[in-house]
Structures are given as structure tokens and as C-alpha cells.
Amino acid sequence: MKNSFFPVLGVLSLASAVVCSASPVWETDWSKALEKAGKSGQPVLVDFTGSDWCPGCIYLRKNIFDTDAFAKYAEDNNFMLVELDFPRTEGKMPPEQLKFHEELMRRYGISVFPSVLLMEGNGAPYAKIVGPSRTAEEYLKKLAAAGETRLKLKEAVAAA
């Protein structure tokens, strides 16, 4: 009886670690994401990325977005996460979807990868972050500053 306790404890610890380190969910359907964020009042974080060719984009995903610190920040701030990919690998994305992503890129003035646009659910942007940071902590500071900008804008609109 005593011998079976430790393996069970080990399995429960491993399951807990897996659950705690779950990556955030990224929406890839622009319309669906904005509709949901608009209804709920969530801020939207849009990652314009070249997932299969852009070194900065790959670094941002691996070293910042895939960290527990970012997952916690995104959850705590109730972000709707949206990935708009611009892959170069043929067949990775339907041409009409890539064309739509390019239209969004032009609409929001995105000219450099990676770029992250922070916006309201109605599509109104309030901040843009270009390029990755060296660490997740540095990037989270940029997101926090953008969040302060969002609050100031909301206060100004409410006062007007």
C-alpha cells in the first residue's frame, strides 16, 4: 500500500505541471475573434507573423508567447489572442486567406514582422509593438504600458 502512494503522487504532480503550463489559445479567424471580443469587451492582441520564415517572429513565439509568464499575463488581462500568419511555404494557407491577411496588414499600417497590434473588439487600435524583446519580462512591460494607454484613452473618451 505504501509503495503505491509515491507513483500516484508523481503522476498527480506531473499532471498538475502540464495543466499549469498550458499555452494560451490563439484564434486564427479574424471575424470570429473580433465578434467575440466586441461582445465581451476583451482587448485584442493581434500577432502579425511570418511563422515559417521570419526569425524575429519565431523567436517571439518561442521565447515570449510560449512562456508561462505570457500565458498568465494574457489570461489575467483577458486578451483575445489572434494570429495572422503570412507563411511562405506553399500550400500552408489558402490564397484567399493570405490575401485577407494582407488587406488587414495594409489597413493597420503593418510593414515589419513581427508586429503586434493591440486593439479593442471593434477593431480600433490603441498600441503597436514592433519586434520581439529579449525576455518575456521585457515584453510584458511593453504590454503593461500599452494597457495603461488603453485605460487613458477610455478615460478620455468617457470624460468627453
- CATH code, domain with 132: 3.40.30.10
Q: What is the dihedral of CA 30, 33, 36, 37, to 10 degrees?
A: -110
138's enclosing H/E stretch is: helix 136-159
Indicate whether 4 belongs to any domain: no
Indicate whether 94 belongs to any domain: yes
Indicate whether 112 belongs to any domain: yes
Indicate whether 17 belongs to any domain: no
- The residue range of the domain holding 72 is 24-159
Model-level pTM? 0.84
Indicate whether 1 belongs to any domain: no
Domain count, the chain: 1
Per-residue pLDDT of the chain (160 residues; tens, 9 = 90+): 555 544 444 444 444 444 455 679 999 999 999 999 999 999 999 999 999 999 999 999 999 999 999 999 999 999 999 999 999 999 999 999 999 999 999 999 999 999 999 999 999 999 999 999 999 999 999 999 999 999 999 899 899 8
* Residues 22, 71 contacting (CB under 8 angstroms): yes
Round the CA-based radius of gyration of the chain to a whole number and report it.
19
